């Protein structure tokens, strides 16, 4: 079985290290611009914490999906969902493939298959990962200062994860609670 050399391993980490400094379109509760690595980490934490809430789901696979789903953004940067085009998606897929080519063959095949599963959105695991990706963004926006929101986000916050959570009761509850928090924030801000 082909394995990493120490040099390959460190080089790959160097490539994805950029995720720590790629900004996302959101700030934290402390006003710090969020980065892609923090978003991916928190989606993975969410998956782990709700492992007992999701029936018949391979949580370890969901965690792997959450950890890896945005690695292409180490090359492309993050593009907010409301600006992303099919062309952006294709460029990011190519970036992912280029990054993964530096991995040993079996690992390349495993992670490439994982990305194929995420893209197809046919398995429960892929659907849960996508729901968590969206929910984390909504929750993070709710935790940030509403003055950092764009006008279009007032509505987007309520709908962004709505379709993705369907069929997963706990995720539906998180979506419902997140919408309540969004509405509370908007109401509170509009009365100031």
Q: Phi and psi for 24 in degrees, rounded to 5?
A: -110, 170
Domains of the chain listed by start with CATH number: 6-190 (1.10.3210.10)
pLDDT at 2: 81
- Averaged over 147-160, what is the pLDDT? 95
179-to-11, 14, 87, 129, 141 alpha-carbon distances in Å:
42, 38, 31, 19, 11
191 pLDDT tier (thresholds 50, 70, 90): confident
3-state secondary structure (DSSP) of residue 103: coil
Nearest C-alpha neighbor of 9 from the set 107, 115, 76, 97: 107
Sign of torsion over alpha carbons 102, 96, 77, 130: negative
pLDDT at 1: 67
């Amino acid at each position: 079985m082909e394995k990493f050399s120490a040099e390959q391993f460190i080089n790959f980490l160097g490539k994805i290290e950029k995720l720590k400094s790629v900004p996302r379109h959101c700030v934290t509760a402390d006003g710090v611009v969020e980065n892609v690595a923090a978003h991916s980490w928190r989606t993975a934490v969410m998956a782990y914490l709700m492992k007992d809430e999701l029936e018949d789901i391979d949580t370890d696979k969901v965690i792997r999906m959450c950890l890896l789903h945005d690695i292409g953004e180490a090359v492309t940067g993050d593009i907010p969902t409301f600006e992303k085009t099919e062309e952006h998606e294709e460029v990011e897929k190519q970036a992912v493939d280029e990054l993964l080519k530096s991995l040993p063959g079996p690992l390349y095949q495993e992670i490439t298959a994982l990305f194929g599963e995420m893209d197809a959105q046919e398995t429960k695991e892929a659907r849960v990962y996508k729901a968590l990706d969206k929910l984390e963004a909504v929750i993070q926006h709710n935790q940030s200062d509403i003055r950092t929101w764009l006008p279009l986000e007032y509505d987007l916050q309520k709908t962004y994860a709505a379709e993705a959570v369907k069929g997963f009761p706990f995720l539906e509850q998180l979506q419902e609670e997140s919408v309540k928090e969004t509405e509370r924030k908007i109401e509170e801000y509009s009365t100031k």
